[in-house]
C-alpha cells in the first residue's frame, strides 16, 4: 500500500509538473486571462506578467496557450532555459516557432521571412501570439532591441505580432535595457500568492481532481500549510505532497497540524 491507496486517491494531487487538469481558476488568474486575451485580441503588441518564484506564471502561460484555439491564433510558447541567448539565435527561433519553413542563416533574410510569415498569418484571419517564459534571463540589450524591432511591424488595426512576457521582478531591469521597448508595454500584471481562503480552495480543488473523498486535511493543518507556504502554489504542493507521505507512514487520516509542522521542519520552512 502507498499513500494513494491509503487516502483513496487515483493519482498524485500535488505534483509540481504543470498539468492543466489541475488548473485552479482563482479570481486573480481568471482576471489575468481575460486581460491577456483582451491585449491579444486588440493587438496591443506587448503584455508583461510578473510574479515571484512558484506563484503560477508558467501555469498561467500554458493555460493561456491552451485557450488560444488554432482557428483564430498562431500561438506558441518559448521557455528560456539559459542566459546566453543571442539576438541571432532568438530571431531564428522565433521564425521557427511561427511556422517559417527553411529558416535562413542570414539575419536580414530571417527578418524578411518573419515579416512575410506574419503577413500570411494576418491574411489568414488569425493573430500571431508568442508567449515567452523566464524573460528575466534574456539580459541583453541586443535581444530587447530585436523585440522592439518586431513590434514595429504593424498595420492600421494593430501589431502583427503579440508578445506576452512572463518573468520574475528582474524583468523590469531587462526591459529597461531598451527604454523604447519598455514604453511599448501595453499591459502589465502582477501575480500574487494565494490568500488563506484561496489556499483552502486550491487544496480542495486538487484533491477533487485526484478523486479524493475529501477531508484529508484538517482545518488547522490547512492554516499551517498557508503559514509555511505563504500562499505560494509551488510550496503548497510540496508541503501537501510530503504531508501525504508522512501521514501515510504514520497511518494518520486526516492529516493534522502536527504532520504539517514536521514536514515544514524537514523542508526548512519553519519561521524564525
Shortest CA distance to 41 belongs to which of 151, 128, 153?
128
What pLDDT does 272 receive? 52
In the numeric block, the cell 500500500 is attached to 1
Q: Please name the residues in contact with 112: beta carbons below 8 A apart, sequence gap of 6 or more.
A: none
What pLDDT does 215 receive? 85
How would you write the pLDDT of the chain (272 residues) with one tens digit per residue? 789 999 999 999 999 998 989 999 999 999 999 999 999 999 999 999 999 999 999 999 999 999 999 999 999 999 999 888 899 999 999 999 999 999 999 999 999 999 999 999 999 999 999 999 999 999 899 999 999 999 999 888 889 999 999 999 999 999 999 999 999 999 999 999 999 999 999 999 999 999 877 789 999 999 999 999 999 999 999 999 999 999 999 999 999 999 999 999 999 998 65
229: which DSSP letter? H
Neighbours of 184 (CB within 10 A): 18
The three cell numbers locating residue 193: 500568492
Q: Please name the residues in contact with 222: beta carbons below 8 A apart, sequence gap of 6 or more.
A: 199, 200, 203
213: Cα separation from own chain's centroid: 29
The C-alpha atoms of residue 254 and residue 210 are separated, in whole angstroms, by 16
Domains of the chain by start residue, with CATH: 3-11+194-266 (1.10.8), 27-191 (3.40.50.300)
What pLDDT does 270 receive? 83
Q: Is the dihedral of CA 204, 210, 216, 222 positive or negative?
A: negative
CB contact at 8 A, 83 and 137: yes
Strand stretches in the chain, DSSP E = 46-51, 73-79, 127-133, 154-155, 158-159, 161-167, 187-191
In the numeric block, the cell 514604453 is attached to 183
Instruction: State how beta strands 73-79 and 127-133 pair.
Output: parallel
Amino acid at each position: 500500500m502507498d499513500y494513494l491507496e491509503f487516502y483513496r486517491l487515483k493519482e498524485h494531487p500535488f505534483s509540481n509538473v504543470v498539468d492543466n487538469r489541475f488548473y485552479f481558476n482563482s479570481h486573480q488568474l481568471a482576471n489575468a486571462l481575460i486581460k491577456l486575451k483582451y491585449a491579444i485580441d486588440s493587438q496591443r503588441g506587448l503584455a508583461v506578467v510578473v510574479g515571484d518564484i512558484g506563484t503560477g506564471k508558467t501555469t498561467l502561460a500554458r493555460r493561456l496557450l491552451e485557450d488560444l484555439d488554432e482557428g483564430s491564433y498562431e500561438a506558441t510558447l518559448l521557455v528560456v532555459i539559459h542566459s546566453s541567448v543571442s539576438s541571432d539565435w532568438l530571431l531564428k527561433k522565433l521564425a521557427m516557432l511561427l511556422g517559417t519553413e527553411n529558416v535562413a542563416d542570414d539575419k536580414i533574410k530571417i527578418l524578411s521571412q518573419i515579416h512575410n510569415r506574419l503577413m500570411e498569418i494576418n491574411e489568414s484571419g488569425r493573430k500571431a501570439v508568442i508567449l515567452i517564459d523566464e524573460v528575466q534571463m534574456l539580459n541583453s540589450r541586443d535581444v530587447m532591441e530585436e523585440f522592439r524591432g518586431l513590434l514595429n511591424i504593424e498595420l492600421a488595426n494593430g501589431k502583427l505580432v503579440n508578445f506576452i512576457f512572463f518573468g520574475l521582478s528582474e524583468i523590469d531591469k531587462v526591459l529597461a535595457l531598451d527604454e523604447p521597448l519598455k514604453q511599448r508595454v501595453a499591459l502589465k500584471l502582477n501575480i500574487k500568492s494565494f490568500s488563506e481562503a484561496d489556499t483552502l480552495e486550491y487544496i480542495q480543488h486538487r484533491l477533487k481532481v485526484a478523486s479524493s473523498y475529501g477531508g484529508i486535511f484538517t482545518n488547522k493543518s490547512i492554516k499551517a500549510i498557508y503559514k509555511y507556504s505563504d500562499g505560494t502554489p509551488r510550496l503548497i504542493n510540496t508541503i501537501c505532497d510530503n504531508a501525504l507521505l508522512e501521514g501515510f507512514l504514520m497511518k494518520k487520516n486526516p492529516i493534522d497540524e502536527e504532520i504539517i509542522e514536521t514536514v515544514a521542519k524537514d523542508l526548512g520552512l519553519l519561521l524564525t
